[in-house]
Amino acid sequence: MAKTLYDSLGVAKNASQDEIKKAYRKLAREYHPDKNAGDKEAEERFKEVQTAYDVLSDAEKRKQYDRFGSQNGRPGAGGPNVDFGNFDFGGFDVSDLLGGIFGGRAGGAATRRQPVRGNDVEAVVHLSFEDSLRGAEAKVPVELTVACRECGGTGAQPGTAPVICPECNGRGVKSESQGLFALSQPCPRCRGNGTVIEKPCPNCRGTGRERRIKNYTLKIPAGVKDGTRIRLKGKGEIGEGGGPAGDLFVVTRVEPSKRFERRGADLVIEVPVTYTEAALGATVEVPTPYGERVSLKVPAGTQDGRQLRIRGHGAPKLDGSGKGDLIARLRVSVPKKLSKKEREALEELQKLSHDDPREALFS
């Protein structure tokens, strides 16, 4: 079993925010690099604890993690080794919790808040088999976090604007000299943003973001399969601190066809032929998935299960390089009922037959 973020903090899956915070404080102290200089394992643990806390302390990220196994919505991307980008300490930072132990010496170099890329989002589109070959336009509602419409994403009440933080003059970092050490830590007033909002936007309460359902109209390209992932760059969730938006991944769910079976860009169809057609050879008609009929030459002596390729009548290739093939899998069909004449003819044939199909079994 892979270690979960809950394991990283040593808490239960239903742990309260308080329990998570407590566990984090304890572990962050224990593994802090200042206390474990040069200890690679402690360093790894410290990162792991930070990552876990970053996700689990944020209700939104935690919900997503619980659902998808990762905070960015990509299924299966979970586990403690995933790079979640930069850490948000959610209300307090490591330097202030370490203050008590290290006499005010902050851990690590504090930096201005880094831009964070927005989360990726996944949406599902259901298509008929025909539409998957023809291409289609689909309307997809996607629930995601976008820039607040009221304030345009600034977080400031409409008509006002965020101002340069007077505490750090917009640097996002505060430096102070304390005895031997020059102390640098994220500005507590603006939390590293460099700007502060005096009158928060009432719609987003100053976050600049809101949850919304966006209706995208998508052109689904001809030739998608069941499970094809289409990436729409920048159509995911809004980034933080000027970071780019995430991507939208649209996964196609294609209804299976009764006749055609997909094999890459090729389509396989079972074509029944009679014993005489298989033995004597014949030209038979085969339907294509595009509503046409094509002629297929069945060679004399064809065996049951033989596959014949009809070039260029398969599914469109997504790279635009034409279509795959239609593959006719021949099935020799045996009549269930015989007329008197047919029976007589077959009995005559059996008398004439010199072929023993079981010969190889005894050799």
User: Of 49-57, 149-157, 290-298, 344-352, which part binds Zn ion (CB under 5 A)?
Assistant: 149-157
Residue 217 neighbours by CB under 8 Å, 6+ apart: 137, 138, 139, 140
Joined tokens for residue 262: 């997909």
Which residue lies nearer to Zn ion by CB, 7 or 167? 167
Tell me which residue of 242, 266, 262, 240 sits closest to 252, measured CA to CA: 262
Cα–Cα distances (Å) from 228 to 205, 253, 255, 266, 348, in that order, read 38, 8, 13, 16, 55
| Cβ pair 186, 93 in contact under 8 A | yes
CB of 199 to Zn ion, least distance (A): 11
| Cβ pair 119, 237 in contact under 8 A | yes
CB of 162 to Zn ion, least distance (A): 11
167 binds Zn ion (CB under 5 A): yes
184 binds Zn ion (CB under 5 A): no
User: Of 79-87, 199-207, 217-225, 287-295, which part binds Zn ion (CB under 5 A)?
Assistant: 199-207
CB of 92 to Zn ion, least distance (A): 16
5 binds Zn ion (CB under 5 A): no
Task: State how far the Cα of 6 lies from the Cα of 56, in Å rounded to an integer.
Answer: 8
| Cβ pair 127, 140 in contact under 8 A | no
- Pattern 251-270, Zn ion, x by CB under 5 A: --------------------
Helices 40-56 and 17-31 meet at what angle, rounded to 10? Answer: 160
- Pattern 95-134, Zn ion, x by CB under 5 A: ----------------------------------------
150 binds Zn ion (CB under 5 A): yes
Which residue lies nearer to Zn ion by CB, 187 or 298? 187
Binder of Zn ion out of 106, 151, 248, 296 (CB under 5 A): 151
147 binds Zn ion (CB under 5 A): no
Task: State how far the Cα of 53 lies from the Cα of 49, in Å rounded to an integer.
Answer: 6
197 binds Zn ion (CB under 5 A): no
Binder of Zn ion out of 52, 116, 127, 187 (CB under 5 A): 187
146 binds Zn ion (CB under 5 A): no
Which residue lies nearer to Zn ion by CB, 204 or 218? 204
Task: State how far the Cα of 226 lies from the Cα of 253, in Å rounded to an integer.
Answer: 5
| Cβ pair 342, 335 in contact under 8 A | yes
How far out from the chain centre does Cα 362 lie? 56
Which residue lies nearer to Zn ion by CB, 166 or 264? 166
Binder of Zn ion out of 123, 147, 201, 273 (CB under 5 A): 201
Residue 63: strand, helix, or coil: helix
| Cβ pair 205, 156 in contact under 8 A | no
User: Of 202-210, 215-223, 231-239, 303-311, which part binds Zn ion (CB under 5 A)?
Assistant: 202-210
Binder of Zn ion out of 49, 116, 168, 238 (CB under 5 A): 168
Residues that bind Zn ion (CB under 5 A): 148, 150-151, 165, 167-168, 187, 189-190, 201, 203-204
